[in-house]
Amino acid sequence: MKIRPLHDRVVVRRKEEEQTTAGGILLPGAAAEKPNQGEVIAVGTGRISNNGDVVPMSVSVGDTVVFGKYSGSNTIKVDGEELLILNESEIYGVIEA
């Protein structure tokens, strides 16, 4: 199953960091703050500007993106996996290796 996002929406798989203490004990996921990074899974075709033109997207599938701590509450389930739906405007930037 695949999702085609509309307009300037971006589907993001949130990065899951291993939660281990210094002593190597694995912490339950809920105990840690979720990382505000993820991998872009799908991008829309771009928002439609006031004069009707499509504004091309600034992120691409495969990009690692950073977003704000108050973003990421809109989620969808695709094949049992929870993915984030972001507007491109919620994305701060792209991490470059």
Site string for its own copies, 47-76 (x = CB under 8 A): -xxxxxx-x--xx------x-x-----x-x
Among 14, 15, 34, 36, binds its own copies (CB under 8 A): 36
| Shortest Å, Cβ 25 to its own copies | 21
Are 11 and 4 in contact by the 8 Å Cβ rule? The answer is no
Of 27 and 95, nearer to its own copies (C-beta) is: 95
* Rounded Cα distance, 72 and 80, in Å: 17
* Rounded Cα distance, 53 and 45, in Å: 11
| Shortest Å, Cβ 24 to its own copies | 20
Query: Sign (positive/negative) of CA torsion 58, 64, 66, 71?
Result: positive
Strands 9-14 and 81-87: antiparallel
Residues that bind its own copies (CB under 8 A): 1-7, 9, 11, 36, 42, 44-45, 48-53, 55, 58-59, 66, 68, 74, 76, 85, 88-89, 91-97
